[in-house]
Amino acid sequence: MNPAVHGVGTSHFGRRPGTDLVSLAWDAVSDALADAGGGPVDAVWVGTVFAPAGVAQRVLRAMGITGIPVVTVENACASGTTAFAEACEAVRTGRYGRVLALGIEQMSAAFDGAITPERTDPEGATGLALPALYAMAATRYLHDGAVTREQLAAVAVKNHAHALHNPQAQYAGRYTVEEVLASRMIADPLTLLQCCPTSDGAAAAVVAASSGGVREVGVRGIALRSGAPWGRRSPHVWGHDVVRDTAADAYAAAGLHAATDVDVAEVHDAFTIGEIVTTEALGLAAPGEGGKAAGTGVTTLGGTHPVNPSGGLLSRGHPLGATGLAQVAEIVRQLRGDAGGRQVDGARIGLVETMGGGVSALDGNACVVAVLEAP
């Protein structure tokens, strides 16, 4: 069976401590089911990182989705996309006919600010948090002349401007490079406007076999990898190699000749340097050219390779378990031509990349890359 996305839905993303998980899930799932034309599902995969035990069954019960297999998966920031990958595989193999993938997270209930380093992790025990890890990558790029501070800031300028056209984004705005660089320093050289916010939200997709429907978005290829041991053997910064290798798997499965066949991409930009490294690892920019692509408009709406038209994690928000499925929802809307003021004209091939963080001596906890095709 060739899997296809029949419906998508998302809640509004933002700091919503007064909104319970059931309400967040209701917004995403009800929209996805309605978008798919209604009807039951045979199984559910739910991606979440910090939600309490049993949350999947509780939020689904409120929507009358009971008595079927429900599986919860955790793969750091790639949890939602992992749920989507498993849903696609269940349909492809014929295990289930119609599957719901749901991602959900309420970060504001778990953390006052940045995620606390995990003390059972060797690097986490020393206090190494993800902002510092990404800052190390940015420092390396600056040292090697592969990026400038202005190019780092240009990613934030671009994605905050894209989010102006996304009514479900956490926040948006028109900033200058100078304003981004002048915002409060978080982890040198990354300033506040170069870091994703703490977010709450949910996103969902209904996956079933392709039937040729005019609104079905085909899943041409999807791949999932976990990071390998990372150290001096790699000439690249943390996160590059697992994205590169996962993308190669997805491109092969999709039959893509080159990354330049991709018309629009949603990639993991938890920090500005993340988008730059990822566009290079995906092949959307040449090595050392990711910063220049952002600075010259190549990855902006209207550019040659538009990246993160939704606003990305930087502006749409980053509720960990929901992020990957929000990316899927954006690409589905782009390929249907339903993205409104952020629409990429003529988009036929879309890409989703989500990289799960973590610093346990691995090149990332997990990465999912999916290639989707317009109806």
- Identify the pLDDT of residue 288: 95
Mean pLDDT of the 83-105 span: 98
Quote the percentage of the chain above a pLDDT of 90: 83
Pairing of strands 349-356, 264-266: parallel
Give the distance from CA 119 to its chain's centroid: 26
Q: How confident is the model at residue 112 (pLDDT cuts 50, 70, 90)?
A: low
Mean pLDDT value of segment 45-52: 94
CB 205 within 8 A of CB 83: no
Give pLDDT, residue 369. 98
What pTM does this model have? 0.96
The answer to whether the Cα torsion of 168, 324, 247, 289 is positive or negative is positive
State phi, psi for 223 to the nearest 5 degrees: -140, 150
Mean pLDDT of the chain: 94
With cut-offs at 50, 70 and 90, classify the pLDDT of residue 123.
confident
pLDDT at 310: 98
Once rounded to an integer, what is the mean pLDDT over residues 267-281? Answer: 98
In angstroms, how far is CA 66 from the centroid of its own chain? Answer: 28
In whole angstroms, what is the distance from residue 227 CA to residue 79 CA?
Answer: 14
286 pLDDT band, cuts 50/70/90, is very high
Token pair for 25: 């899930």
What confidence category does residue 359 fall into, taking pLDDT thresholds of 50, 70 and 90?
low
pLDDT band at 109 (very low <50, low <70, confident <90, very high): confident
Q: Which residues are CB-contacts of 260 (< 8 A; sequence separation ≥ 6)? A: 283, 284, 305
Q: Which of 53-57, 111-115, 168-172, 312-316 has the lowest mean pLDDT?
A: 111-115
Question: In the chain, what is the greatest distance between 2 CA atoms, to the nearest angstrom?
Answer: 57
The single residue listed with the structure tokens 């798919």 is 36
The full set of domains in the chain, from first to last, is 3-111+196-373 (3.40.47.10)
N- to C-terminal Cα separation, the chain: 16
CA distances from 205 to 86, 231, 321 (A): 12, 37, 13
Q: Which long-range contacts (CB under 8 A, 24 or more apart) does 290-297 make?
A: 290/146, 290/147, 291/141, 291/146, 291/147, 291/148, 291/151, 291/152, 291/154, 292/151, 294/151, 294/154, 294/155, 294/158, 295/148, 295/150, 295/151, 295/154
- List pLDDT tens digits, range 231-250: 778 899 999 999 999 999 99
> For residue 114, is pLDDT > 80?
no
As annotated, the active-site residues are: 77, 318
pLDDT at position 231, please? 72
128 vs 304, higher pLDDT: 304
Lowest-confidence pick of 17-21, 146-150, 317-321 = 17-21
**Contact present, 118 and 76 (Cβ < 8 Å):** no
CB under 8 A, 24+ apart: contacts of 233-237: 234/363, 236/277, 236/281, 237/136, 237/137, 237/140, 237/141, 237/277
Q: Which pLDDT value is given to residue 113? A: 65
Average pLDDT of the residues in 110-133? 76
**In angstroms, rounded to a whole number, what is the distance separating the alpha carbons of residues 88 and 2?**
9
Per-residue pLDDT, 221: 98
